[in-house]
Chains A and B, each alone.
Chain A
């Protein structure tokens, strides 16, 4: 190990940082936004991102050590420099975008369900060879700054919220007890128009869906029509929010945010990262479907 490498390692190990650091300001702002949707997400993400490690790795002295290795110009020193630069790139990649498996673990730990491309393929919502386009960072940022219909919204359980890709319009409809609506889950089609929420439920049941689902039984990959509908809705909503993305595979799919008679069900949005650049949805269903949070995990490049 060269002196420069030793110095580099010693320096990297000695520096500590915190989230308020200028370097991590972008994360802090984003995490503050996410916190409203997923309480505790900051703590969980921090554990994965390890900001102190990132900060230490990008100290000026580290750059100088790499530069010294470059100037040494031997095969060993250049190999060490390449290794260090690759390591830094890896750290940045981890800090800038959680690995999908990390994200999956976080969502799962939060009591949610993570749906990635693999699951969508299994659900028959995507062709195995489908390419989900990356969502450019500018869209992610636009989302965070926008008045996205889902952002920070709490949706009553009997509200259906959907995006109609044909008209590019968002709709929220209060199905209410005994209420009527013109917007209905896609599987009901015109048949569901103007019917009360209860009647729609009845039809949905006939359609194979189980409207009342206990949280413990939810499994998107097994018999889970309701959760599929919710996820369909969430995927369609988010994909449609980014008009550059083809929503055709999800067209006509509607869903619903929860299905209880309580009026304060939660349906909130989390915008996160996936190093695979795809779009994934994580549903956070704490104890039952009274509260349902949707997480959008979009490419952040």
Chain B
């Protein structure tokens, strides 16, 4: 494996990890009762 592809793989792993973290944090945020519906809808559209 070249240095370039190893670097890309590491980056990809990092991004997967970040996405997982983001999803977890976002779910917790959107579950909070003080978060307005309009705020939630932005992410519902994405889903």
Residues of A within 8 A of B (CB): 22-23, 26, 54, 58-60, 62-64, 66-67, 70, 73-75, 78-79, 81-82, 85-86, 88-89, 92, 95-96
Contact = CB atoms under 8 A, between A and B. Distances in A.
A54 B36 CA distance: 11
A60 B38 contact: yes
Contacts of B25: 82, 85-86, 89
Contacts of A54: 34
A51 to B, nearest CB: 10
Contacts of A23: 34, 36
A58 B35 contact: yes
Interface residues of B, number: 23
Nearest to B11: A75
B39 A60 contact: yes
Contacts of A92: 29, 32, 34-35
- Contact residues of A: prevailing secondary structure: helix
Contacts, number: 63
B42 interface: yes
A287 to B, nearest CB: 38
A85 B29 contact: yes
A62 B34 CA distance: 15
Given A58-B36, A60-B36, A78-B19, 17 more contacts: A23-B36, A26-B34, A54-B34, A59-B39, A60-B38, A62-B39, A67-B42, A67-B46, A70-B46, A74-B15, A75-B11, A75-B14, A82-B18, A82-B22, A88-B29, A89-B32, A92-B34
21 contacts: A22-B36, A23-B34, A26-B34, A60-B38, A60-B39, A60-B41, A60-B42, A67-B42, A67-B46, A73-B15, A74-B15, A75-B11, A75-B14, A78-B15, A78-B18, A82-B18, A86-B25, A88-B29, A89-B25, A89-B29, A96-B34
B34 A89 contact: no
B34 A95 contact: yes
B28 interface: yes
Nearest to B34: A92
A292 B35 CA distance: 37
Given A92-B32, A92-B35, A64 B18 contact: no
A75 B8 CA distance: 11
Nearest to A73: B15
Contacts of A60: 36, 38-39, 41-42
B34 to A, nearest CB: 6
Which has the most chain B C-beta neighbours within 10 Å: A26, A64, A66, A82? A82
Interface in B1-27: 11, 14-15, 18-19, 21-22, 25-26
Contacts of B26: 66, 85
B46 to A, nearest CB: 6
A60 B39 CA distance: 5
Nearest to B12: A75
A76 to B, nearest CB: 10
